[in-house]
Structure 1
Amino acid sequence: MPLPRLTPLALVLSVTLGGPTASASDLMQAYTLARDSDPQLAIAESSREAGQLRVVQARSSLLPNLSGSASYSRSGMESSGERVLSVDPPIVSTNTTQSHSNGRNFGLQLNQSIYNHANYTQLRAAKKRDAMGEAQFDAENDNLIVRVAEAYFNTLTAIDALVNSHAEERAVKRQLDQAEQRFDVGLTAITDVHEA
């Protein structure tokens, strides 16, 4: 039996036979439990989501690109100096200069491609890959439904066979006990006991 069929079968067996982790009373519950833990379906779902993201990324190349920048600058300078104007009598001139400047720059840039065939081709290809991912997910989901249903009904058939086997065993034992009692009382021969 291939490995993909073992996982749903084991899950349905544990669910149907009252396993310690879960119990399903019907086929829908068994499917829900299998859907939440099936690795093949999880892989298909991840591929589907990746395809959806590729469409978003391809569409983004068709949209305008807006970029902005801002800057602020501040500078200051202070200088002082002395100059001797006369030596006799000493006359000194002190000069102090201060300057401050502030600058602000803002910029926005908007780029929009008028037509770029490669971008449209990329978007069409991404949409087709997305549709393929959706189809693969749907197919894997249908496959899971079939696997769970087969495992569920095979389990029910096995349980019925087991119940019938136990009932048949009890009936044969009862028949043997009755034949032994008749032999003990003397109503039948030993061959009847062996046949029973």
Structure 2
Amino acid sequence: QAGDAVARKKDGDLLALFSSLNGGVDLGSAGRDLELGNLLVLIGESKANNYPKPVHIVHHPYATMHVAASTFGYAGSGTMGTGAGAALASDLANDMLKNFFEFRIGDISVYQDGNITLDGSDDGVGAIFSEAAMCYTESVGFNQETERDASLRATELVVTCDYGVFELDDSYGAKATFNCKATTD
């Protein structure tokens, strides 16, 4: 549990950088579902601005489910309609189902992250970015030790690590706000 808590903390610190990528320019829109067309807009942004490879898209699992729902024609409110799945190559469809919506489009990897927080309207901020956009540096790895506290009649578990995250090149990424409400229709 302690290791998982540290991993969530590091992940949250990296996710916090998404909002300021590209000067805060948002390639998405609150209330809009992340559908295949919107995904292609994000990819087009990375190509047009020459993001160095590798490039990734990270968003909340419900947002990536909207990609699958609109692609397969499941979403009742999706703009692509029920026939959209017929135009999609079966390899992408199989990857989306097999890998629980972690997939690749061209040379762009799409990942989901359940640690993305949602606002009151169920919107979340994800991002498209090159690995050259942000940095993670660690001076001390995960350390765990116990410490006896007689006054509490307990042994405490102490976990430490020393790391930092920061933007390296703001222009190699952009945030993308999309609806992350669970699809039920």
Q: TM-score, normalised by structure 1?
A: 0.19
Which of structures 1 and 2 has the larger relative contact order (alpha carbons within 8 angstroms, sep 6+)? Answer: 2
Q: Which protein has the bigger helix share?
A: 1
Q: Which protein has the bigger strand share?
A: 2
Q: TM-score, normalised by structure 2?
A: 0.19
